[in-house]
Amino acid sequence: MLSRQAHRFCLALFTTSDRRETYRARNLRFRTFTLPTCYTVNAMPGRRRWLYCAHYVATRNKYQLHDPLATVQTQYLYQYICSMREQERILAGQQVSHTTEPLTDEYNTQWIHTNTGKLPAIGGFDLMRYSPSREENGDVGRDTDRAIAWASTNTFDGTALAPAQGTHGGIVAFCWHWNPPYGDPNVDWWKWMYDDNTTFRPASAMADTSPGGGLELLHRDIDRIAVELKRLDQAGLSIIWRPLHEANNPTIFWWGADGPAAYKQLWQLLHDRLTNHHNLHNLIWTYSANYWPSGSYSDTYPGDDYTDIIAIDSYETDVYPTNSTYAELSAVSTKPVVISEIGHMPDPATLYQPGSDYDWRYFVTWGESNGSSNYLGGTVTPSYANTVYNHARTVTREQLPDWRNGIF
């Protein structure tokens, strides 16, 4: 899709002849040139009617992942996400429910499809259940398999989707609600990730290099998660990777409890372990801050050398983040900005008002639905969801191009 800007193009030659032959270019000079947004391609007159075809190759130099060894497909995914700015569109996403509520795992996507006729372009998953302290208590993770199915042309149970539901598969995003190695024995083990339910702290853990100490426990947990990320990599998946989220509010999760310096050190440790030790280069590293406290987004930002996307998690009474929120996030870095978690679906018509500086690349509605507050079935009514998913600016799974091969 052409944007309003001029782009670089490659020139290709095709013939209408049915004969198989090789065209040998002699004394031909090819050069880089630009075409305006509106252009016409015509067949050249002649016996063989050679057709000049302009093949769009996006000018993507400004959209580069921080990892120089990132896979080509991962780079394509990043560039496609970034291209939403030029296209003035937004990718729709939905977190798959991971709670213990009496809902099927696919409740959220099924609800959306039933009420809108569409599927989200991005499926959000969680590596939470693979945390060793959860597995030790009998928890079983299944999101790796479900993500692999989502990225193909299948549903979660392997049933083939109709072509109209997305022939190129869905985009996959993963967060990690990292359950710490230990927590308060008087509190349910699955609640240990919350700051006030564990004494496990990042600063002291990273400083404890003794055998079986804190650093070794951190490595153990990361190595377990690396197993799943490698499975995804081997299956050919590129991942929007969003670990250690909402640390700008130190009262939520244990990984943010020791403040910005310790948090950034933990991020770098995780990054080094996955990227260099485990040789994982299929990850788009996403830093997501909590909506509150506003103005603190830059304090815990790990830095451009460790991050590709800047995101916001918003569950405030505001229907969705405001212009000022976007401005604060944009001030942190020049990286693309997204809405990584939100209770209420944002309205593209409002996000892209004339003259607005918004250019959110995607949103992911959270997946815990109990029919209350800002979740599906609550303030997100079937009528409202239908409006959002069928808006001209919204990109759903059905509209995804072949981005894995760089075609978009």
What type of residue is 67?
A: D
Q: Are the CB atoms for 368 and 375 separated by under 8 Å?
A: yes
Return the biggest CA–CA distance within the chain: 85
Helix, strand, coil percentages in the chain from 3-state DSSP, rounded to 5 = 30, 20, 50
Q: State how far the alpha carbon of 396 is from the alpha carbons of 3, 89, 92, 164, 168, in Å.
A: 19, 11, 6, 11, 12
Compute the Cα dihedral for 157, 158, 159, 162 and give only its sign: positive
CA distance 217 to 346: 39
CA proximity to 357, closest of 43, 19, 1, 85: 85
Which residue numbers are catalytic?
A: 246, 341
Cβ atoms < 10 Å from Cβ of 206: 17
Q: Tell me if residue 303 falls in helix, strand or coil.
A: coil
CA distance 219 to 244: 15
DSSP state of 398: G
Q: What angle do CA 241, 244, 246 make, to 5 degrees?
A: 110
CA distance 323 to 122: 24
CA distance 399 to 255: 37
Give 135: exposed, middle or buried? Use CB within 10 Å, 0-12, 13-18, 19+: middle
